[in-house]
Chains A and B, each alone.
Chain A
């Protein structure tokens, strides 16, 4: 029974993880830029949701679209003003740029929000479900539902909409897309905005489940990276697989080794996976 409980915990956590990583994967896949800002953008979304709940009493679940919109605008602006200038440069340059932007955002968040841990405490609490002996808190189930729905929405957007097709076209062949009349730098900005929007939405959901602090950002970034490598880069289903896998791995490793080794275990797995199967579980070739 314990194992089933841990499995369910892992799946619930994994749903949220997919949502955390999908924006990171999108930016990495399409722009070939590692967005070090991603963790901080998630935390920014969490703080937006936290303050909206505290001062305006808006439910964090209802706040998800607002957080997504706010972060979309921020991401769009960051890409247009800064990152578009270094597109196509060496890895070191793009990476260092997002690193610098992240230091700035992190410091601003520390100044504005302090480093204390905070958490949205819903009142009245939503309680928990008991499904044949397996206990699941309702807020986590709703978060997971929202997270998976958001990932599905992004997938539909990329598959079905004009903008989505343009993004996929740019990802496949930038020059050809340009020749077909796609405004590449605008698509880059929209893609980065979408990545940031997913981060903001994930952040709102995150604030319900976990305590937040600007210090959490790096751990989230690390998780996003592990998920992308686990699932294979560049596809939304890959991120889903990677997120759920990481959730399950973390739950079981916390059971067997204790929660303090979660980063070490996921990193060790990551190194092993990269040594023996560098294309991820889904087997799609990643961008190198």
Chain B
């Protein structure tokens, strides 16, 4: 039953550009982007239990890396891939520096990264245009085909994130990360090379936001530091995963869909109070639904719920 449903969903997603108008397509593209961001965060925040607030840093770095490469004449898809690779290298180096920190120290250290990158981007005016922002080369495609192109690009990114999540969850890596989440010292005792596992999870949590940032930059054609290093980009994926279920395979996707529905239905009527309402949702979520919408039983830990999830 689940398989039939998943197949139907995939068919609808693939055929959507032929059926839907531009508004629906734009919303769907955003949904796929949110899914990829949430699935990305889930590697480090969900599986490994490390509260990372670095998503905005990876997204922004990916956007700027791919944007700058394109202004230098690199073709767009190659720029997205290279941007993702740059973000992965950055995350590997950063992970080695901050992943030995635990709890609060790690959380705040990861939070400051976006701030640092924003400052550097602002100062490197020659390369990035500084606070004036960066204009990307305009594509010679009509509006509808552009919308379709970026939709499929985000689709591939989200599908890759989902496939990687499913692969990791049923793999040695996922097992090791869950051990780290439950008790890191015990995981070390079991012979897990925790730093390596965490760095891999951190890199995975960086690649997908990095590529999404690159696609986003081409999609909107103009980026500036306050937009792509926005701290909300770090918070939203966490909220989505909390909504959908921490450490599960599909949690990020469910959360992204729910979150986007709320955003479209409620927030566009309340533009002045966007961040405030998100704050209220976060507070209610943490106080009343700490295990997400799937967690009917409050105190039920996520690894027990995972066994139902893992069954195909």
| Interface set of A (CB-CB < 8 Å, partner B) | 28, 32, 34, 82, 85-86, 89-93, 95-97, 99-108, 110-111, 218-219, 222, 225, 229, 260-261, 263-264, 267, 270-271, 274-275, 278, 286-288
Contact = CB atoms under 8 A, between A and B. Distances in A.
Interface stretch (B19-27, B78-86, B107-115): B107-115
B122 A96 contact: no
Interface string B104-133: 110111011101100110110000000000
Given A97-B287, A100-B286, A263 B119 contact: yes
A220 B55 CA distance: 21
Contact of B104 (A28, A222, A263): A28
Contact-residue bracket for chain B: 35 or more
B252 to A, nearest CB: 15
B282 A91 contact: no
Given A97-B286, A100-B286, A261 B105 contact: no
B275 A106 contact: yes
Q: Is the interface of B mostly helix, strand, loop or mixed?
A: helix
A171 B238 CA distance: 29
Contact of B51 (A28, A92, A275): A92
Contact of B274 (A107, A222, A229, A263): A107
B290 interface: yes
24 contacts: A86-B290, A90-B49, A91-B107, A92-B45, A92-B49, A93-B286, A96-B51, A97-B282, A97-B286, A99-B282, A100-B278, A101-B279, A103-B278, A103-B282, A104-B280, A106-B276, A107-B276, A111-B273, A261-B120, A267-B112, A267-B115, A270-B112, A274-B101, A278-B101
Contacts of A287: 104
A92 B102 CA distance: 11
B140 interface: no
Q: Is the interface of A mostly helix, strand, loop or mixed?
A: helix
Contact of A82 (B45, B111, B287): B287
A96 B282 contact: yes
A229 B276 contact: no
Contact of A263 (B115, B242, B280): B115
B98 interface: yes
A108 B104 CA distance: 26
B119 A260 contact: yes
A100 B119 contact: no
Nearest to B97: A271
Contact of A100 (B104, B111, B123, B279): B279
B88 to A, nearest CB: 19
Contacts of A271: 97-98, 109
B283 interface: yes
B198 to A, nearest CB: 15
A288 B231 CA distance: 24
A119 to B, nearest CB: 22
Given A34-B107, A222-B112, A264-B116, A111 B286 contact: no
Contacts of A110: 275
Closest 9 CB pairs of A and B: A100-B282, A107-B276, A103-B279, A104-B279, A92-B51, A100-B283, A107-B275, A91-B103, A97-B286
A218 B231 contact: yes
Contact of A92 (B98, B109, B238): B238
Given A34-B104, A91-B103, A91-B107, A260 B123 contact: yes
Contacts of A91: 51, 103-104, 107
Interface centre among B109, B246, B272, by most chain A C-beta atoms within 10 angstroms, is: B109
A32 to B, nearest CB: 8
Given A96-B242, A103-B235, A82 B104 contact: no
Contacts of A274: 98, 101, 105, 109
A86 B112 contact: no
A28 B103 CA distance: 12
A106 B278 CA distance: 11
Given A260-B119, A267-B112, 12 more contacts: A95-B51, A97-B287, A99-B235, A99-B282, A100-B285, A107-B273, A111-B276, A219-B115, A225-B108, A263-B119, A267-B115, A274-B109
